[in-house]
Structure 1
Amino acid sequence: MEELIAKKYIKALTDDFDIESIQNSADIFSVLADSFTDEKFKSIIISPLVSSSDKESILLDAIKSASSDKINNFIKLLVENKRLDIIPAIAKELKKDIANSTKTYTGIIYSDSDIELKVLEELSHGLSAKFNSTITLLFVKNDFNGIKVEVTGLGIEISFCKDRIDSQIIEHIIKAI
């Protein structure tokens, strides 16, 4: 639900922006979204006991180095409409919009065994060519018994599970006998 509301606010914010301005806005909102991971900050911003003007001044002080009247007015609008809780969703949606407009995505490869840098680059290049985008893959070692590739911005998920492949080979051999 927050994503839908955030998209409407983002549309209003970025109507007259070029890609560089949108990137700057995304950076600003990413910093604000990171602040929401601090429980003290979050409790102050969400608290009904703290006045709207105090919340507004806290947020405007946090972004004053951006020197953007449009961003300042946008923050005031969020305070006025009591929508400060969607700032993290706004940051996330702005990043998605930038990725879609520049066709630049980041994906993650999960596996329980190490993957060489050369293999990562080949997979990135292959996926980039397949989807006509620039895809950068990062490796995360975990307990997944196989390989799993996720590029959430494109909605791609590819996985090869060793246990499943082993069971399918056994089934195939049994059917062949």
Structure 2
Amino acid sequence: MEELIAKRYIKAIKQDSDAQKMQEIAFVFSILAEAFNNEKFIQIINNPDVSKKQKSEILLDAVKSADFKEVENLIKLLAEHNRISIIPAIAEVMRKDIALTSKSYNGIVYSDSDIDAKVIEDLSSGLGSKFDSKISLKFKKDSFNGIKVDVEDLGIEISFSKSRINSQIIEHIAKAI
């Protein structure tokens, strides 16, 4: 639900902004979204004793140095309609929208064993050429018995399980006999 509301706000911002300005606004909102990880900040934002105006002023003070009228107006509008809590959703939708527009995506490679940086780089370039995009992959050690590549924004997940490959080899040998 929050994502749908966030998309409407972003659509309005996109009409008056170029790609560079959208990236700068997205950066401001990503920093604001990080504030929602702070328990004290959430208590203040959710406190009914704190007025809409006070909440708005807290957020406006946080983004004052960015000097974006669009951001300031959006924050005032969100505060006025009690929608400050969708700021993290706005940041995420903006990030995805910019990734889609620029065809630049981030992904994660999961494995239980270490993977050479060259292999990760080859995977990035291979996937990038396959999907006509720039894909940056990072390695994350995990309990997955094999290799799993996940690029969430593109909606792709590729996995090679050691146990599955072993069972397929055995099955293939059994059929050959």
Question: Is this a same-fold pair by TM over 0.5?
Answer: yes
> What is aligned with 2:44?
44
**By how many angstroms is 1:168 displaced?**
2.0
Return the alpha-carbon distance in structure 1 between the equivalents of residues 171 and 70 of structure 2: 62
Aligned AA for 1:5? I
Instruction: Tell me, yes or no, if structure 1 residue 139 matches structure 2 residue 163.
Output: no
**By how many angstroms is 1:54 displaced?**
0.7
Return the alpha-carbon distance in structure 2 between the equivalents of residues 99 and 70 of structure 1: 21
Q: Deviations over 1:67-115 (max 9, x none)?
A: 1222111100000111111100100110111111111111110001111
**Secondary structure of 1:118 counterpart:** helix
Aligned residues between the structures: 177
Q: Deviations over 1:108-141 (max 9, x none)?
A: 1000111111111111111111111111110111
Which residues in structure 2 correspond to 1:24-173 (within 5 Å)?
A: 24-173=24-173
Return the alpha-carbon distance in structure 1 between the equivalents of residues 151 and 6 of structure 2: 22
**By how many angstroms is 1:176 displaced?**
3.5
Return the alpha-carbon distance in structure 1 between the equivalents of residues 173 and 119 of structure 2: 31
Return the alpha-carbon distance in structure 1 between the equivalents of residues 134 and 110 of structure 2: 19
Return the alpha-carbon distance in structure 2 between the equivalents of residues 167 and 47 of structure 1: 56
> What is aligned with 2:21?
21
Segments of 5+ residues of structure 1 without an aligned counterpart are none
Return the alpha-carbon distance in structure 2 between the equivalents of residues 23 and 81 of structure 1: 25
Return the alpha-carbon distance in structure 1 between the equivalents of residues 46 and 174 of structure 2: 61
**By how many angstroms is 1:47 displaced?**
2.0
**Secondary structure of 1:49 counterpart:** coil
Segments of 5+ residues of structure 2 without an aligned counterpart are none
TM-score, with structure 2 as normaliser? 0.96
Contact 1:46 1:84 survives alignment (8 Å): no
**Secondary structure of 1:153 counterpart:** helix
**By how many angstroms is 1:173 displaced?**
2.8
TM-score, with structure 1 as normaliser? 0.96
Q: Deviations over 1:22-53 (max 9, x none)?
A: 00110100110000000100111122221101
Contact 1:3 1:93 survives alignment (8 Å): yes
**By how many angstroms is 1:170 displaced?**
2.2
